[in-house]
Amino acid sequence: MKKTTTKLADGRELIYYDADESAVRDAADPRPLETPGALSEIRRDAATGDWVTIAAHRQARTYHPPADECPLCPSREGRTSEVPAADYDVVVFENRFPSLSSLSADAVGHITGSPAPDPAALRVREPGVGRCEVVCFTAEHDTSFAGLGEAKARLVLEAWADRTAELSTLPGVQQVFCFENRGAEIGVTLAHPHGQIYAFPFIAPRTAKMIAAAADHRRRTGRNLFEDLLDSERADPERVVLAGEHWTAFVPYAARWPYEVHLYPNRRVADLTRLTEAERAEFAPVYLELLRRFDRLFGPDASPTPYIAAWHQAPVLGGEELALHLELFTIRRTVGKLKFLAGVESGMDAFVNDVSPEAAAQRLREVAS
């Protein structure tokens, strides 16, 4: 893999990841872009302790442009995009409309490293310091991650791992989150195959819950929660969807979504950077098979399945009990019907699943390649 780092016209970083070591990436960005200003802040919800990001400037972000004006396609004569090159393998760049940014240090009048807020205060805010990046999986506009070859999928994994390593060293960053939103039903505003990476200045609420559950399990049993979960699923494989030498995919016992699969390396590691060569090599065929099964769930006449794919990995500091894994789920519950988060889910964060996890696992086995 060859990595080439450059700058866009407004100073944002852009990184090419190429399979060909001889690739040359020297195209300049000719656009007359202004340097971004101070952006967002985070506010603590006094009732829950969770941090909420306030990023009002994102209202102006690009929304469903026509294919010939896609900002994620390579640039061509007469039309420039976020990627100056005429072609690329995988490319990562700082989001033009980020929820979190190093520039946000000026937004609320103080900088990273300031004294911790008074825990008794009801109105606590901090600068939205962090980083948001876009990961373009391919230069091809009319495809999806499932349409990538194994070599390209492996290159995306290498990019995720590299960004995890680099972003974890930024001042104020506590957690790195790699994810993909796919489909208009999910809320995707750009159709080009891409994902995102958030470098949070806090530990996300779901991660904090996992860390607390793992600590409680360790106190009660002396063992690691995630190792026990994986061992349990492999020992009684009713919900196992796909199993390889290095990875296992299963529907969780208490799945929240109609079709939800968790993909774990069989060896517990904290984050993407710790994966071995063998684990990285097997990831691509296993993950591509999972995505292709998702697209076959609802029959040949259904539109591509909308989904969210979310990597869960340990925070920069702490969370040693956490195990790297990917959670893949769709909000579609059957043909033409979506799982909406209404009163119970949105109001109380208490999920009700319309599909049994065992039936979901059986269906995902039925649609194997």
Tell me the DSSP string of 64-112: S--GGG-TTSBPBTTB--SB-SS--SEEEEE-SS-SS-GGGGGTTT--T
Q: Which domain holds residue 115?
A: 2-202
pLDDT higher than 80, residue 51? yes
Residue 113 has pLDDT above 90, yes or no: no
Residues of the chain with pLDDT > 90, as a percent, come to 86
- Concerning whether 194 is annotated as a catalytic residue, the answer is yes
> Does residue 260 share a domain with residue 132?
no
**What would the pLDDT profile of 184-228 be if each residue is shown by its tens digit?**
999 999 999 999 999 999 999 999 999 999 999 999 999 999 999
Same domain for 345 and 246? yes
Examine the domain organization and report whether 177 and 273 are in the same domain: no
Query: Are residues 162 and 100 both part of a single domain?
Result: yes
Q: pLDDT at position 180, please?
A: 98
Alpha carbon distance 357, 309 (integer Å): 18
Quick one: 214 and 146 in the same domain?
Answer: no
* pLDDT of res. 116: 58
Name 222's Cβ contacts closer than 8 Å, sequence gap at least 6. none
Query: Is 274 in the same domain as 136?
Result: no
pLDDT at 109 over 70: no
Provide the pLDDT confidence category of residue 117 given band limits of 50, 70 and 90. Answer: low
pLDDT above 70: percentage of residues in the chain: 94
More confident residue, 70 or 64: 70
Same domain? For 34 and 128 the reply is yes
Q: Is the same domain home to 172 and 113?
A: yes
Of 128, 152, 146, 148, the residue nearest 201 (C-alpha): 128
DSSP state of 244: -
> How many domains are there within the chain?
2
Query: Where among 202, 237, 264 does a domain terminate?
Result: 202
Domain co-membership, 147 together with 273: no
| Same domain membership, residue 250 and residue 117 | no
- 62 is written with which tokens? 């690009």
User: Are residue 141 and residue 222 in the same domain, yes or no?
Assistant: no
Whether residues 184 and 260 fall in one domain: no
Of 192, 194, 246, 325, which is the active-site residue? 194
How does residue 38 score in pLDDT terms, banded at 50, 70 and 90?
A: low
The Cα–Cα gap between 111 and 126 comes to 8
C-alpha distances (whole Å) from 338 to each of 44, 126, 335 are: 31, 36, 8
**In whole numbers, what is the pLDDT of the chain averaged over residues?**
93
Q: What is the pLDDT of residues 175-191, one digit of tens each?
A: 999 999 999 999 999 99
Q: What is the pLDDT of residues 267-306, one digit of tens each?
A: 999 999 999 999 999 999 999 999 999 999 999 888 999 9
Q: Report the pLDDT value the prediction gives residue 119, as an integer from 0 to 100.
A: 64
